[in-house]
Amino acid sequence: MYRASPFLISVSLLLSLPLLFLLAPRILPPLFPLPDPISPADELDDLSLLRRASSASSSLTRLSSSSSHHKIAFLFLTNSDLHFSPLWHRFFHNRPRSLFNLYIHADPSANVSLPPPGSVFHGRLIPSKRTSRASPTLISATRRLLATALLDDPANAYFAVLSQYCVPLHSFDYVYRSLFVSPTFDRSAPAAESAQHGVRLSYRSFIEALDKSPSLWKRYTARGRYAMLPEVPFEKFRVGSQFFTLTRRHALVVIRDRSLWKKFKLPCYREDSCYPEEHYFPTLLSMEDPRGLTRYTLTAVNWTGTVNGHPHTYGPREVSPELIQRLRASNHSESYLFARKFSPDCLEPLMKIANKSIFRD
């Protein structure tokens, strides 16, 4: 009987190690229970919505530029109650509906109780599907919101994605002026492009698109070493917050994309590197229109002491007028407009300081 020497065994084991790493994604079960993949029925359903929004918009984009009022579409993405709806209600209070629209995507499995009649959020739920972390379902939900808002109103000109943990840092009028009117709000804009005679010339999307991050390679290979090729070479892979504000032009780019979605909808093998919603949008838009992006977000977030991919969550005792001031401070624009994350029990202290701090600009 042939008996391999212990030396030979260890050498061959050593030699096969790299091979194992190379093949592991193909032959080993994934390291975490994969969320259910998006079903073909859901995918078809979405595709039909995206197609309708895309073809309707091509004939309507001209119309929107001639309308005197541009609207902001506020897109709320939630898997729980909208904890701060009374605060948002105050934010929108008495503002004409000719300036904004609201849309809510709520995970149907989360039994979300929606704001009652009388609230600005009432009746604003769009047909929604299940969402979960570490899966591409958050991309689908965001595309559903964008497509619905594009279809719904040709005057929707900016599309701001928010969650149930987001709060406003300013009045509605300040937010509106900053996006559409102010020639000085965006400090990153090349002076020649931003304004002439005090009139805004260019409208860019406020979205982070970073090409440097310690975990970028791990996240790029989360579906396997070569899984993103050839559509997305590593040099084109970007990261940024999923809470962005897009122009109508870029919202259309997003709902018309098929080729990157084909890659980003693949399941990951590693849960700790799987945040497709933080990569899909910045990667796609940097590839399509790098000059049209500010590369920063309008939603302040505190990553100090991050746990498990979650940022610092502010509790009720941290809420104060000074916190609002600190959260507004941005190096990229005159101010952040929104902030996250706040725990639900922050509602009461936030309502107390709303008139005097948050909505006073």
Candidate residues 304, 307, 308, 317; the one interacting with ligand NAG per rule CB under 6 A: 304
5 contacts ligand NAG (rule: CB under 6 A)? no
Distances (CA, A) of 98 to 67, 128, 145: 10, 25, 19
Residue 308 within binding range of ligand NAG, rule CB under 6 A? no
Note whether 111 binds ligand NAG by CB under 6 A: yes
Q: Which of 113, 132, 215, 320 binds ligand NAG (CB under 6 A)?
A: 113
Out of 16, 173, 355, 360, name the contact with ligand NAG by CB under 6 A.
355
Q: Which of 326, 344, 345, 360 binds ligand NAG (CB under 6 A)?
A: 326
Interaction of residue 325 with ligand NAG, rule CB under 6 A: no
Tell me the closest approach of the beta carbon of residue 25 to ligand NAG, in angstroms. 35
Q: Is 329 in the site for ligand NAG (CB under 6 A)?
A: yes
Least distance in Å: CB of 315 to ligand NAG? 10
Smallest distance, ligand NAG to C-beta of residue 273, A: 23
Stretches 119-127, 220-228, 280-288, 302-310: which one binds ligand NAG (CB under 6 A)? 302-310
Backbone angles phi, psi at 161, to 5 degrees: -90, 130
Q: How far is the CB of 357 from ligand NAG (least distance, A)?
A: 11
Rounded CA gap, 42 and 40, in Å? 6
Q: Which of 5, 59, 66, 331 binds ligand NAG (CB under 6 A)?
A: 331
10/323 Cα distance (integer angstroms)? 59
Question: Burial, 356: exposed, middle or buried (Cβ in 10 Å; 0-12, 13-18, 19+)?
Answer: exposed
Which of residues 118 and 305 has its CB atom nearest to ligand NAG in the complex? 305
Other Cβ atoms closer than 10 A to 170: 21
Long-range pairs, 121-128, Cβ under 8 A, ≥24: 121/76, 121/82, 121/85, 121/88, 121/89, 128/104
The angle formed by the CA atoms of residues 288, 292 and 294, to the nearest 5 degrees, is 120
- Examine residue 305 and tell whether it contacts ligand NAG (CB under 6 A): yes
Number of residues that this document lists for the chain = 361
3-state secondary structure string, 99-134?
CEEEEEEECHHHCCCCCCCCCCCCCCECCCCCCCCC
- Chain residues binding ligand NAG by CB under 6 A are 111, 113, 302, 304-305, 312, 326, 329-331, 355
